[in-house]
Structure 1
Amino acid sequence: MFEPGHLHRAFSGVPGTPTGHVDVFYEVHHDAAEGTLMHFKVTGNLDGKDFTEEFDMHRDTAFNFASLIAKAVVKQGLPSAVSPIMRNHKEYDAMFEDIRKKLDAKSGEAVNLTNLEKDGL
């Protein structure tokens, strides 16, 4: 389920997949040194284990959000083939557009390669 600023995924214990849920919350933050950032908070419970992962992405690299969210949940035991983002492409597209709107980003804007490294991409 997607709504602006929040994505929720439930997992029902399909063989090889833990039972539980993952929630992704995101919002714009402004940092004096780094500029505009998108702050992500990934929370959930997989097989009875609660977790929270938080990270920031620079304005120009925030569109690679699926990669860092996938890394966060794989660390918590979700198989890499069960990405909470790419599971429903319609919701991925909506999340992408919501992030673009929140950051007032335009297609074709340059990416600072240093920011890719800083953001762990």
Structure 2
Amino acid sequence: MTTPAQVTIHSSQGLDRQQYVIRLSYQVENPASRDALVKFELDGEIDGQPFQDGFDLPGDIAFNFASSATRVLRRHGLRVCQGPVLRFRKEHDRVFDDLRRKLGAEPGKPVDLQRMSSLAPAQPRCAVAESIVRQRG
């Protein structure tokens, strides 16, 4: 098991309609194994409501953590249209690079695409994007 790591994001005064403080903590289990697993924990506050939740991802698809984290945060009331990667690029890249180092990932390392497809979001669009798609159809 590797040392736990964490990153914290928070709303910006004047930019966000919601107030939030979100901590993402993660730890890699069996990093050198084909069965590597990354345990993610989310906690904090969204609009004054505390929450705590988590999810696990196999090592080969743990780099898709932002998608899973976004789904969890939506369940707790966070309104996200463009996803956290665009807005919190620095934090995302820091976690991504740390996971790559801890898991020993290299370009060309195979990914189980069947497991990756199981991570597809149930609600892939925000309300604004959904209204645009309906107008085109």
Q: TM-score range by the shorter chain?
A: 0.7 to 0.9
> Number of paired residues?
114
Q: CA deviation at 1:7?
A: 1.2
Q: Which amino acid aligns with 1:42?
A: L
TM-score normalised according to structure 1 size: 0.80
User: Equivalent residue of 1:35, what SS?
Assistant: coil
Q: Which has the larger radius of gyration?
A: 2
Tell me which moved more, 51-60 or 79-88: 79-88
Question: Which residue in 1 is equivalent to 2:127?
Answer: none
User: Equivalent residue of 2:60, what SS?
Assistant: coil
Instruction: Compare the two structures and name the one with the higher helix fraction.
Output: 2
Runs of 5+ in structure 2 lacking a partner?
121-137
Runs of 5+ in structure 1 lacking a partner?
none
Q: Which amino acid aligns with 1:72?
A: V
- Identity over the aligned pairs, expressed in percent? 31
**1:78–1:14 CA distance, 2 compared to 1 (3 A):** farther
Question: Which residue in 2 is equivalent to 1:68?
Answer: 68
Instruction: Compare the two structures and name the one with the higher strand fraction.
Output: 1
Q: CA deviation at 1:20?
A: 2.4
CA distance in 2, matches of 1:14, 1:44: 20
Please, what is the CA RMSD of the aligned residues? 2.3
**1:75–1:13 CA distance, 2 compared to 1 (3 A):** farther
Question: Which residue in 1 is equivalent to 2:77?
Answer: 77
